[in-house]
Amino acid sequence: MKRELLLIILCALLAPLYAVAQQSDTTTVTPRKSRLQIGGYGEVVYTRNFFSDKYLRYTDAENFANDKGHGRFDIPHVVLWLGYDFGKGWSLGTEIEFEHGGTGSAVEIEAEEGGEYESEVEQGGEVVLEQFWINKAWLNGAINIKAGHIIVPVGATNMYHMPTEYFTNMRPEGENTLFPCTWHQMGVSLWGETGKWRYEALFLPGLDSDRFNRQNWVGGAAGSPYEFKIANTFAGAFRVDYTPIKQLRLSLSGYAGNSFKNTLSATDAARYRDVKGTVAIGAFDFAYTSNNFVVRGNFDYGHLTDSELITAFNMNMRKDSVSPKQTVASDVLTGGVELGYNFFGLSQKLTDKEQQLWLFSRYEYYDSMFRTEGTIQDTKWCGRHRWVVGLNYRPMQEIVVKVESGIGLLSKPYNHEPYISVGVAYAGLFNRYFKKNRK
């Protein structure tokens, strides 16, 4: 009797499970979007440079005109992105970036200091928390407030910095040289999308004038070598995107803020009492896509007040300071345009498979010493034209193989800088959807 009773109870418990199993064999449940999103991007690049990498190649250019060149492997960026939708308009975003495949300090031969070996710490190492923010959305995303460690979308590259969003193996050189890239800082952002418009306004700590230099202008000034970000001065930034038609995007962005006293080495000396070091940047970029063609372009201009006094202050800092201790320009500029054509778009079969083969060309010009103030010398090798031609093959939307050849054209007496480069990159979400039950 006990055995029969036990069998009845067991059948009663298993019956619902059997019914679900039978239903799952015949019913497909609609996929449900996951609240947790996991994604990222990264690239591996090999470059053969047909010019000298000696530290005297600019100060004694004639002696290095016939240098055989050098090759380099690099992992510029590997990024892991984690996001979570809490519901009711609240969401979280985090992004951890591994730069150049390592952590800790990097050793470089310093061209400006007699070829000395110098250990440099960049933002406390080369594992960087690039994003960490909380976002609250209203009106279906028309109004958002984002606070935390956020991207500063000034210029085309900072807004579109994933390797599937540009043709070259490395990020476009002009913006990547002159400005922080990818530019990320603590701050608050008011942003939204409505109709044909996207807008964003940001409140941020100022840049650090200690970190300015001749080759990269303010490029290294958003980070901090300390365990905190100095916030003695503040800045604002904005970006507006307008899409009048589906194929065309027009964008305007900018930045303004003081930089001189945003340092642990601030001075009360009378000579520097009125120095502000105001950094102002204006940028325009666009993208047009139609009939397998893509055209993208940008123009950026930057101005720094009190550049002569900032140069004097930085060059007189202690030898063990983290400052580059170099001259800095009052004005910089960069502009570029790239054109690509997808030959696989001529085949409906390859288009259906989402495969693409792009032939592209890019031209850009940039000068980190475009205008100088007072006694500061214009360093001519800091300005150059750059031409690139190449191929991008995409076996799928998230993966791209890149091959390119390019040259940096410098004015005499400096040597031109030709190269070839091969790379593979990916970008995308790893868990777009999950299924409650499988078919």
Average pLDDT (222-226) is 82
- Per-residue pLDDT, averaged over 244-248, amounts to 96
- DSSP string over 289-318: EETTEEEEEEEEEEEETTHHHHHHHHHTS-
Q: What does 90-131 look like in DSSP terms, one character per residue? A: EEEEEEEEEETT--S-EEEEETTTTTEEEEE-STTSSEEEEE
Average pLDDT of the chain is 87
pLDDT at 297: 97
Per-residue pLDDT for 93 more than 90? yes
Confidence of residue 261 (pLDDT cuts 50, 70, 90): confident
pLDDT in tens, 359-382: 999 999 999 999 999 999 989 999
What's the pLDDT tens digit per position in 301-325?
Answer: 999 999 999 999 999 888 878 788 9
Give the rounded percent of residues in the chain with a pLDDT score beyond 70: 85
CATH at residue 80: 2.40.160.10
Residue range 342-367: average pLDDT?
96
Tokens 């642990």 -> residue = 264
Q: Which of 32-36, 200-204, 340-344 shows the lowest per-residue confidence on average (mean pLDDT)? A: 32-36
Band of residue 164 on the pLDDT scale cut at 50, 70, 90? very high
Domain count, the chain: 1
Q: How confident is the model at residue 38 (pLDDT cuts 50, 70, 90)?
A: very high
User: For residue 395, is it within any domain?
Assistant: yes
What is the model's pLDDT at position 226?
Answer: 79
In a domain, 30, yes or no: no
Predicted local confidence at residue 127, as pLDDT: 81
One DSSP character per residue, 201-239 reads: EEEEEPP-GGG-BTTTBTTTSSS-SSSS---SSEEEEEE
Q: Is 281 a domain residue? A: yes
8, part of any domain: no
pLDDT bucket at 299, cuts 50 / 70 / 90: very high
> For residue 57, what are the domain limits?
37-434
Higher-confidence residue of 162 and 267: namely 162
pLDDT at position 336, please?
97
Residue 411 lies in a domain: yes
Q: Which of 51-60, 87-96, 133-142, 344-353 has the lowest mean pLDDT?
A: 51-60
Strand duo 77-87 + 36-49: pairing: antiparallel
Q: Indicate if the pLDDT at residue 349 is higher than 60.
A: yes
Q: What is the largest CA-CA distance in the chain?
A: 106
State the average pLDDT over residues 326-333: 96
Distance CA 311, CA 329 (A): 9
Residue 10 lies in a domain: no
Contact in structure between 58 and 414 (CB atoms under 8 Å): yes
Query: Average pLDDT, stretch 378-394?
Result: 96
Task: Work out the pLDDT band at 5, boundaries 50, 70, 90.
Answer: very low
59: preceding bond cis by omega (within 30 degrees): no
Answer whether the bond into residue 76 is a cis peptide, omega within 30°. Answer: no
In a domain, 29, yes or no: no
Position 23 in a domain: no
pTM of the model: 0.85
pLDDT at residue 85 is higher than 80: yes
**What pLDDT sits at residue 235?**
97
Between these two residues, 137 and 125, which has the higher pLDDT value? 137
Q: Which of 390, 383, 384 is nearest to 362 (CA)?
A: 390
Q: What is the pLDDT of residue 113?
A: 57
pLDDT of residue 337: 98
pLDDT of residue 323: 84
Most confident of 29-33, 167-171, 430-434: 167-171
- What secondary structure letter does DSSP report for 181? T
Per the model's pLDDT, the better-predicted residue between 383 and 223 turns out to be 383
Task: Give the pLDDT score at 394.
Answer: 97
Q: Which of 244-248, 261-265, 410-414 has the lowest mean pLDDT?
A: 261-265
